[in-house]
Amino acid sequence: MAANGRKSIFITGAASGIGLACAKRFAAEGWFVGLSDIDQAGLKAALLAIGAANGSIHPLDVRDREGWENALGDFGRDTGGKADVLLNNAGVARFGVLEDMSDADCDIQIDINIKGVINGARAGLPLLKAAGGRLINVASCAGLYGSPKLAVYSATKFAVRGLSEALDVEYARHGVSVACVMPWFIETPILNAGASGTNEHMSDALRAGGLEVYPVEDAAQVVWEAAQGKALHYFVGKRAKQMRFASSHMPGVVRKQLRSRPLLST
């Protein structure tokens, strides 16, 4: 289905969670949505959810550079070679202390959360240049201060934040702007993350700590605002804004609080 002159957005991780919520939000605003994910059944359901006339599906493993070229090539044929927004949303987490992580647990987070975002930023630049568009990368509040039992995940989200800040300068000469969206914990499948060989999940820690979890619609609203705006950093949830302030102005307090909380298991 062609975009027919509408604004367009290409979304990774669009079959569920924040990606799907964003697809629904942008489609409701009249945008043409390129849905990409490794979950092909989920992509078909996502297209039904937004309406077949409002998007296209592009099976994609974000680790695959050739896959990126193919997916964006197909998307570009629907949009006249342009993309107003590329949303690097796909991400994974593994929850547990570092010494319990398998090599595979570490590698998949680095490969999807960092390499996948870099791949998207590089492959998507021609379409974004053609539209004077906006690259939006989804990081996390774990990219503001390292989160225990999410060490590798935190490292990847610090990387996404740093990449976004650098590209905001680099891509300006192409007429392309960059935004980095940093959510607090959002009600997505990523909360079911655990480490190989354990029964403990991130959701267990959140419940034990009494921490807020925000709905995906809150994240979609902030991504929508980021698509319209000019700022670099965007935060999802009141706790995200509090963490930004605390990590910037009271890092010692944050460290003390984190060290005072016992880990759920040893």
In the chain the first and final C-alpha atoms are separated, in Å, by 52
- What are the C-alpha distances in Å from 79 to residues 19, 38, 82, 226? 20, 22, 6, 21
Strands (E), the chain: 8-12, 32-37, 55-59, 85-88, 134-138, 177-183, 233-236
The residues facing 59 across adjacent strands are: 37
Place of tokens 């392309």: 176
DSSP class of 262: P
Positions marked catalytic: 153
Specify whether the CB–CB gap between 123 and 165 falls below 8 A: no
For residue 135 the two structure tokens come to 């690259």
DSSP for 158-183, written as a single string: HHHHHHHHHHHHHGGGGT-EEEEEEE
Strands (E), 98-223: 134-138, 177-183
